[in-house]
Amino acid sequence: MAAAPPILRRGREPAALLLLVLGVALCFIAVSFLTRQYKERRDFLARSWYARGEQALAAGDSARAIADLRNALAYDRDNSDYYLLLGEALERAGQGAESRSYLLGLLEADPASGRVNLDLARIAAGEGAIEQARRYYHNAIYGFWPENAPEQRRRLRFELARLLLRHKLRNEADSELVALLETMPRGSPADLQAGELLLEAGDYSRAYEVFTASLRSDKRNIVALAGAGEAAFQQGDYRSARSYLARAVELGPVNTRAAELLAAADEIARVNPLAPLITSAERVRRVRQAVKTASARIADCISSTPRAGDAQSASALVSLAAQLAGAEKQAARLHDNPEAIAAVLSTVFAAEAAAERNCGPATGADLALLRIGRSGEARVP
Amino acid sequence: MSARAAAAGQDDAVLRQAPRPLLREEQYFLLLAIVIGVYSGLAVVCFRLAIEWTRLWMLGPALTASPLRTLAAPAAAGLLVALLVVRLFPRARGSGVNQTKSAVYIYDGSIPFRTVVGKFITAALAIGSGHSLGPEDPSLQVGAGLASAIGRRLHLSRERVRLIAPLGAAAGLAAAFNSPIAAVLFVIEEVIGRWSAGVLGAVVLSAVSGTVVARWFLGSEPMFRVPAFELRNPAELLAYAALGVVGGLASVVFLKLVLGLRPRLKALPRWTQYLQPAIAGLIVGALGLFAPQVMGAGYEAMDQAMHGQYSWQLLGGLAGLKIAATAASFVSGTPGGLFAPTLFIGAMLGAAVNGVSQQLAPHLTGPIGAYALVGMGTAFAGILRAPMTSVFMVLEVGGNYGIILPVMISNTVAYLISRSLQRTPLFDELSRQDGIDLPSMEELREERTLRVEDAMQPPPSPVLDAGATVDDALKQVAGSSGGFFLVNGAGAWRIVRRPELEQLGASGAAMHKLHTVAGDVLPVVHPDHSLEHALRMMKSGQLLPVVHRASVAQLLGTVSADDILRAYHEAGREIGIED
């Protein structure tokens, strides 16, 4: 069998190799120069389009921003800032699915990125996927932030807590707020925000602690006074509530919520038959007044169509009306008789609660009696 | 001493004095493969830069050009390209794959350097100006052309130049595609047509060095940002099968359009060749006014489709428009490739199928990026009919082995549909339209290999023992009508003919042992050996014993040259070739 022809004649390989390597070196230099020129041009174009996109987004023109940022990305596909801004622009333009797709790509490359997780969390929140949003928020909170990480994390906890509260997930929001409080120095302005969210989450005792702690460092802090007042009010501590709320209203500009709560607390103080430090005669007068108020409410409720509309509720209302009528007749026996007072008031509170259940929310003195009935003060001193 | 002997002696002396080669021949070839890969990679980097600069210059820096530029740029570039192709670079026409195959099979691997320059300039102009063509196939031809030029410059033998062109092709494709595995597979599937250990190593080295160079200069980021893939439910495979059907049918539409229009345009008067690319450019520009995504290679649009930017209706529309735009550009003779448009069509169809699937079964449908990626492979299998490349390309681009099952299902369905509705593959039909009969790689792949078992005859009876005497042998064969007998001596097979035995018996050698009187030991074959192998083992007029692989002493049959010829004739009749 004939041998394959040699590739090169003997002795020519070194020269040929040298020439080829020299050629490669020269070509490398030339191509490097061309590539650098090209990359500089691309970088310039990318930056220009990105700047335009940023401006458009700041001006609220999401569509324009999306087009500009896409142009920027065509020249710099590796720039995660461009993707993030495009993701935000898409999110603002209501194109969450596409935004998510880009961000998931970024997340795959950098799963610990706080900003990418945050953007994904916001998209999920916008779509109502709260559980998913919560997961991304947590990833963002525990993720990497290049600057001012503790502050970023606190901000995100607040954002997540607000989201959860918007979706009536009070327990979950409360957990976030508790975790948040552990990372915050006491007495900071953020403390008050946390207290307000705790109020919204229904964690009144912790909110009270936060506000009173804040008041220890600044007794004239109106927000803390109003918050402490509301927290006390919601816990049924109307005396403390009146005290805080009155100071809040006195010190600051009109705070509608505080003023309303103060008015309610005043009304409670006015009608409360269980208030301490009142004379026996006054207590009996208030009990009799409470019976009258409840009787009138029940009578109104019976005369109007009961909301529940069933016979059982109607007969319960009639029975309560009869019990109230009986209590009115026993008014003479209430002096210095805490058991009798308690029994009568028990009927009054039951009547107010039944009226609210069947005939809608109470107002004025009825509401005050209802609150007294539900509060921890509903016992004869 | 004669003059000739003296000259030979001088030659020997010169050879003895010549320095020993630095490298062995195989090593030198591998080194050349690396160098060719580097040169091809550098050329492809320049080609990509040229396309980008042309695009910036002609269409402007935004992804969507102004209407005037959209309409005018491809038409104007078409005029210039036509002038260059008709006047200066006639062999730069087309995608580049067939031209490279022609070089390998017809011109001994020779591709004129002028063609390389022409392809570089005209394809960069066409693609950069928005013609619906891709840079991969031209890169393949540029790489092959450079390799061929280096081979000729180094005065390599014809055989080596023929081998070296595919090395450049693989490097060029790998550099353009940023996928060395897919490039190697494509060159082997479509250009070389067979797996050969000698070439494979060099092709791989060349492709890898081409990719490394391209990544060095252009960055190593993948071509697409593929979102994470997950197969939500095995039932989702039905959607991928549906994608295979859609992709297969779309492939057939594209193939019929291209293969139907091309000969008609070629048949027009020669002067129209100056106008055809410009008219195609106008058509592409007009389509680009409504859907700018269809212009150029379309990688950005593919990326956006992968990230759910388009509705499924728009995606379907884009696939349709891309088929029209690519057919217009390609049949007009504008130089440029079909890889990128094929991937574009597939990506859009894949994403569209995902959109429909989302509507029908949202809980069973995976991410859109996975469908777009699988769609690319599907269109590749349906249009370019390179099934292995299509699967590995998706794996390489996607970087996720989990996608293999959907890819295989979808690609197979598309490939089968395309084959059944368009019998001749695209590249084969294009070469036939050009009057060239290049070997069909698909036919080669599917050609049945005839084996010894297809030709062998039952063993002759009786089989004689090598230790028996001639006299014993004559007694054993007395009842047999056979003309020859095989003699077995512990797996060493010999042949003895009846007249020889009878002559030995009559001449007083009756007590001689058979192994001393029978012929030489015969080479043996096994039933699964190819007939080509059997022929190589066979001396003229010889008959070979066919023995068991686990026991050479066990005779299964015999095969002769006549048997082999008969088997080939029968196989020919099976595929319609009559005597």
Compute the distance between CA of residue A203 and CA of residue B387 in angstroms, rounded to an integer. 65
Beta bridge partners of B484: B497
User: Total domain count for chain B?
Assistant: 3
- Could you tell me the two tokens for B376? 């690319």
User: Which residue in B56, B324, B97 sits closest to B191, CA to CA?
Assistant: B97
Q: Number of Cβ pairs closer than 8 Å across A and B? A: 101
User: How far does A3 lie from chain B, in Å, by closest CA?
Assistant: 12
Q: B42 and A77 in contact by Cβ < 8 A?
A: no
Q: Nearest chain B Cα to A90, which residue?
A: B309
Q: Nearest chain B Cα to A28, which residue?
A: B42
Percent of chain A topping pLDDT 70: 91
User: How far does B46 lie from chain A, in Å, by closest CA?
Assistant: 7
Residues of A in contact with B14 (CB under 8 A): none
| Per-residue pLDDT reduced to its tens digit, B452-481 | 988 898 888 888 888 888 888 888 888 787
Query: What is the pLDDT at residue B93?
Result: 85
Query: What is the pLDDT at residue A4?
Result: 47
* Residue A174 neighbours by CB under 8 Å, 6+ apart: A198, A201, A202, A203, A206
- Could you tell me the two tokens for A283? 């207590």
DSSP B235: T
User: How far does A168 lie from chain B, in Å, by closest CA?
Assistant: 27
* Residue B65 neighbours by CB under 8 Å, 6+ apart: B59, B73, B130, B288, B292, B295
Query: What is the pLDDT at residue B332?
Result: 92
Q: B61 and A6 in contact by Cβ < 8 A?
A: no
Give yes or no for a cis peptide into B523 (omega within 30° of 0). Answer: no
Question: What's the average model confidence in pLDDT over A83-110?
Answer: 81
DSSP A144: B
DSSP symbols for B293-342: GGSSS-HHHHHHHHTT-S-HHHHHHHHHHHHHHHHHHHHTT---BSHHHH
Q: B225 and A77 in contact by Cβ < 8 A?
A: yes
User: Which residue in A156, A229, A240, A220 sits closest to A190, CA to CA?
Assistant: A156
Site from B225, B359, B365 to mutate, A interface, most A CB atoms within 10 angstroms: B225
Domain boundary among the residues B408, B440, B472 is at B440
Asked if B422 and B484 sit in the same domain, the reply is no
Compute the distance between CA of residue B543 and CA of residue B526 in angstroms, rounded to an integer. 13
**Dihedral sign for Cα atoms in the order A298, A304, A310, A315:** positive
Q: B46 and A31 in contact by Cβ < 8 A?
A: yes
- Could you tell me the two tokens for B115? 């063609």
Site from B11, B56, B63 to mutate, A interface, most A CB atoms within 10 angstroms: B63
Helices and strands, number each (H, E), in chain A: 17, 0
| Per-residue pLDDT reduced to its tens digit, A258-305 | 788 888 888 887 778 877 777 878 888 888 888 888 888 888 888 775
Q: B304 and A70 in contact by Cβ < 8 A?
A: yes
On average, the pLDDT of chain A sits at: 81
Residues of B in contact with A17 (CB under 8 A): 22, 31
Residue ranges of the alpha helices (H) in B477-528?
Answer: 498-506, 514-517
Report yes or no: A265 and A370 within 8 Å, Cβ to Cβ. no
Query: What is the pLDDT at residue A234?
Result: 83
- Residuewise pLDDT in 10s, chain B (579 residues): 445 555 545 555 554 555 555 666 677 788 889 999 999 999 999 999 999 999 999 998 888 888 999 999 999 999 999 999 998 888 888 888 888 888 888 888 888 889 999 999 999 999 999 999 999 989 999 999 999 988 888 877 777 778 888 899 999 999 998 888 889 988 888 887 766 666 788 899 999 999 999 999 988 777 776 766 667 678 888 889 999 999 999 999 999 999 999 999 988 888 888 899 999 999 999 999 999 999 998 888 898 888 877 888 999 999 999 999 999 999 998 999 999 999 999 999 999 999 898 888 877 777 888 899 999 999 999 998 888 888 888 888 877 777 888 999 999 999 999 999 988 888 888 888 888 777 766 666 666 778 998 889 888 888 888 888 888 888 888 878 778 888 888 878 888 888 888 888 788 777 888 888 777 888 889 999 988 888 888 876 678 899 888 888 888 999 988 889 988 888 877 766 665
Asked if B340 and B461 sit in the same domain, the reply is no
Asked if B65 and B208 sit in the same domain, the reply is yes
**B348 burial level (CB within 10 Å; 0-12, 13-18, 19+):** buried
For residue B3, tell me if it sits in a domain. no
CA-CA-CA-CA dihedral for A238, A239, A245, A248, to nearest 10: -160
Asked if B188 and B246 sit in the same domain, the reply is no
For residue B203, tell me if it sits in a domain. yes
Query: What is the pLDDT at residue B278?
Result: 94
Candidate from B21, B52, B369 with C-beta closest to A38: B52
Q: B217 and A35 in contact by Cβ < 8 A?
A: yes
For residue B285, tell me if it sits in a domain. yes
Q: Nearest chain B Cα to A15, which residue?
A: B154
Q: Nearest chain B Cα to A12, which residue?
A: B21
Buried b / exposed e along A294-329 (16+ C-beta atoms within 10 A): bbebbeebbeeebeeeeeebbebbeebbebbeebee
Q: Is A1 a residue whose pLDDT tops 50? A: no
Report yes or no: B48 and B135 within 8 Å, Cβ to Cβ. yes
For residue B419, tell me if it sits in a domain. yes
User: How far does B562 lie from chain A, in Å, by closest CA?
Assistant: 25
Q: Nearest chain A Cα to B159, which residue?
A: A5
Asked if B82 and B184 sit in the same domain, the reply is yes
CATH code of B525's domain = 3.10.580.10
CATH code of B152's domain = 1.10.3080.10
Report yes or no: B70 and B243 within 8 Å, Cβ to Cβ. no
Q: A101 and B219 in contact by Cβ < 8 A?
A: no
Q: How far is CA B260 from the centre of its chain?
A: 24
Candidate from A9, A98, A108 with C-beta closest to B308: A98
Q: A97 and B19 in contact by Cβ < 8 A?
A: no
User: How far does B269 lie from chain A, in Å, by closest CA?
Assistant: 41
Asked if B248 and B387 sit in the same domain, the reply is yes
Candidate from B18, B52, B227 with C-beta closest to A11: B18
Domain boundary among the residues B185, B218, B251 is at B218
Candidate from B31, B62, B307 with C-beta closest to A98: B307
Beta bridge partners of B555: B547
Asked if B316 and B392 sit in the same domain, the reply is yes
User: How far does A216 lie from chain B, in Å, by closest CA?
Assistant: 53
What is the residue range of B189's domain?
25-218
Compute the distance between CA of residue B537 and CA of residue B532 in angstroms, rounded to an integer. 9
Asked if B433 and B464 sit in the same domain, the reply is no
Asked if B375 and B485 sit in the same domain, the reply is no
Residues of A in contact with B21 (CB under 8 A): 10, 13
The secondary element (H helix, E strand) that includes residue B484 is strand B484-489
Q: A38 and B228 in contact by Cβ < 8 A?
A: no
User: How far does B224 lie from chain A, in Å, by closest CA?
Assistant: 10
- Could you tell me the two tokens for B21? 């080669």
Query: What is the pLDDT at residue A46?
Result: 94
Q: A35 and B49 in contact by Cβ < 8 A?
A: yes
Q: Where are the beta strands (DSSP E) in B91-196?
A: none
Count the alpha carbons within 13 Å of A248 in the hemisphere toward its beta carbon: 28
Asked if B472 and B436 sit in the same domain, the reply is no
Q: A20 and B150 in contact by Cβ < 8 A?
A: yes
Query: What is the pLDDT at residue B449?
Result: 79
**Dihedral sign for Cα atoms in the order B422, B428, B433, B435:** negative
Angle CA B102–B103–B105, to nearest 5: 65
User: How far does B438 lie from chain A, in Å, by closest CA?
Assistant: 26
Interface list for chain A against chain B, based on CB atoms closer than 8 Å: 4-11, 13-14, 16-17, 20-21, 23-24, 27-28, 31-32, 34-35, 38, 41, 45, 49, 67, 70-71, 74, 77-78, 95, 97-98, 101-102, 104-105, 108
Q: Nearest chain A Cα to B311, which residue?
A: A98
Domain boundary among the residues B440, B475, B508 is at B440
Asked if B317 and B181 sit in the same domain, the reply is no
Query: What is the pLDDT at residue B44?
Result: 94
* Residue B96 neighbours by CB under 8 Å, 6+ apart: B119, B123, B137, B138, B139, B140, B141, B142, B335, B337
The secondary element (H helix, E strand) that includes residue B494 is strand B492-497
Q: B21 and A10 in contact by Cβ < 8 A?
A: yes
Q: At residue B365, what are phi and psi to the nearest 5 degrees?
A: -105, 130
Q: B156 and A7 in contact by Cβ < 8 A?
A: yes
For residue B557, tell me if it sits in a domain. yes
Residues of B in contact with A32 (CB under 8 A): 217
Site from A7, A34, A50, A106 to mutate, B interface, most B CB atoms within 10 angstroms: A7
Q: Nearest chain A Cα to B15, which residue?
A: A10
Q: A8 and B155 in contact by Cβ < 8 A?
A: yes
For residue B9, tell me if it sits in a domain. no
Q: B42 and A27 in contact by Cβ < 8 A?
A: yes
A62 residue type, one letter: S
For strand B484-489 and strand B492-497, is the pairing parallel, antiparallel, or unpaired?
antiparallel
Tallying the residues shown for chain A, one arrives at 381
Q: B154 and A16 in contact by Cβ < 8 A?
A: yes
Candidate from B23, B35, B308 with C-beta closest to A20: B35
For residue B4, tell me if it sits in a domain. no
Count the alpha carbons within 13 Å of B458 in the hemisphere toward its beta carbon: 3
- Could you tell me the two tokens for A27? 């070509």
User: How far does B268 lie from chain A, in Å, by closest CA?
Assistant: 40
For residue B188, tell me if it sits in a domain. yes
Tallying the residues shown for chain B, one arrives at 579
Asked if B377 and B520 sit in the same domain, the reply is no
Q: Nearest chain A Cα to B298, which residue?
A: A74
Q: B225 and A98 in contact by Cβ < 8 A?
A: no
Count the alpha carbons within 13 Å of B497 in the hemisphere toward its beta carbon: 6
User: How far does A94 lie from chain B, in Å, by closest CA?
Assistant: 12
Q: A7 and B157 in contact by Cβ < 8 A?
A: yes
